[in-house]
Amino acid sequence: MGQRILALELAGERVRGAMAERSWKTLDLIGAWEQARVEGEPDLAPAIGRILAESGPADIVISALPAEFVAKRLLTLPFNDRRKLSQVVPFALEEHLPFPVDNAAVAFARVGAEDGKTLVLAAFARKSDMRVHLEMMARAGLEPKRVTLGALALAGLLARARNGARGAHLVIDIDHACTSMVLIDPQGTPRAIRTVGQGIAAPNGAALAPPAAAAIVGAVRQTLLAHGSEADPPDIVLTGPAAAAPAVREQLGKALSAPVHDVDEFDAAALFGGKRPEALRFAACLAMLLGEAPVKPLELLDFRVGEFAARGGARALGAMRTPIILAAVAAGFAALHFILGVSIAARQLHQVNRRIAAVVAPALGAVDPATARAALESKIAGMRKRLLQMGGNLGHGSPLDVLLDLSRAIPAGLPAQIDDLTIGEGGVKLQGTADSFATVDQVKRALERSRYFTDVQVDHAAASSDSSKVEFRINLKVSDAALDAD
């Protein structure tokens, strides 16, 4: 489940809202609603409550101050670091303020760059207006994550949804209480932003009243003249409640001698999960939603700084609470599984060590189980060496057994005599004398026929010094049959 984001625009006696659901990669539009203040209500808090009743609860709330409460300036500063900008912008605005900077809530957004410098839209509102706004939102049960300006958000929406068009655009947002306009250059960078305290008189589709039309058209002409747009006039884009009135579009088109487009001509569906939004009346709300887009969020003004900073993020975490709890539970189970695995392995190792110690104790006594094998091998090698030194051999039987087997293998009366018998790791060595070389050969064949010996080799046979005897040396091995018989 994603996060539900609600954008609210307060304009005169009306509140407009749009809600979207944010997942990992998409921002899907849920709907848009409008409510008016009714007679007897002290402010717009009840109207906000009615929107919430239609939209359902929100995890993140973004609200916009009425445009007539905010003054704006475009500044060019020689750095882009946000921390430095937050320190410098209030002082850069001080000369434009009609009151001390300490009484202003200052916000800024980076809107472009040129010649290595940063173009910054700075805005300020009275702290008293901010307090009234936040108190009203609190009475409606909301704490906005940010408080912004809808007109700047409109510029970002149009820059992303103008179908690749590279020309300049002038966005005119005509509401019931005031009119905001933003001039966007071909690169999508805001070049001018201003507000006129005139708007549409009634939501009945009628044309603008003559004083309002004169003020709005005059502000548009001044903006175009101030930014040299006569040679290459921008496209006029109409938004807000007045955009739904054909009479207003016709009235502005004639006064400005230029075609007037509406924001529905631009494809904003790709920005909201493929759903085509109702952009005429709710363009500013839709634009504010882009500030919480999961991919390349729009940088918005945010007056919630300093003493107005948001106190927490509980609402923003609301939709993520269940996934976070599930992730924590899964991590807990993983940790428990790891601890149990370590405990079981440690117990098994302890049991193996106990058994090893019990097995080797009779031979070695108390010894570390980790070195028991090496200790046993060393002990066996030492015992073998001592046995050999004592005349015994674990692999070939005792010397007495070997002599007995030799006496069985060599026929009686054969003129041969064994003078020396050596039993070692490599086998058995016989040294003796015979009356001839033929007798030596008879001894060899007799040993080969015996089931007690294998691999019989005459290593040496030669006449003795008195030439009456033949000295011989025979190497052999005791067969497995002899060992089994023993």
Residue finishing a domain among 267, 295, 319? 319
- Kindly state whether residue 357 falls inside one of the protein's structural domains: no
Looking at the structure, tell me whether residues 286 and 426 fall in a common domain: no
Looking at the structure, tell me whether residues 167 and 279 fall in a common domain: yes
Give the chain's residues under pLDDT 50. 230, 313-320, 394-395
pLDDT for position 54: 93
Residue 134: give its domain's CATH number: 3.30.420.380
Residue finishing a domain among 302, 319, 336? 319
Looking at the structure, tell me whether residues 154 and 40 fall in a common domain: yes
Looking at the structure, tell me whether residues 102 and 7 fall in a common domain: yes
Mode of pairing for the β-strands spanning 427-434 and 470-478: antiparallel
Instruction: Count up the domains in the chain and report the number.
Output: 2
Quick check: 116 and 145 in contact, CB under 8 A? no
pLDDT for position 80: 82
Phi, psi torsion values for 236, nearest 5 degrees: -90, 125
pLDDT for position 33: 92
Tens-place pLDDT, residues 86-95: 888 887 777 7
pLDDT for position 420: 85
Tens-place pLDDT, residues 446-486: 888 888 888 889 988 888 877 688 899 999 888 766 555 55
With CA atoms as reference, report the closest residue to 60 among 147, 118, 119: 147
Residue finishing a domain among 289, 319, 349? 319
Looking at the structure, tell me whether residues 305 and 404 fall in a common domain: no
Looking at the structure, tell me whether residues 407 and 310 fall in a common domain: no
Decide: residue 287, CB within 10 A, 0-12 exposed, 13-18 middle, 19+ buried.
Answer: buried
Looking at the structure, tell me whether residues 315 and 408 fall in a common domain: no
Looking at the structure, tell me whether residues 264 and 149 fall in a common domain: yes
Identify the bridge partners of residue 438 per DSSP, sorted by sequence position.
none
Domain hosting 417: range is 399-485
Looking at the structure, tell me whether residues 292 and 405 fall in a common domain: no
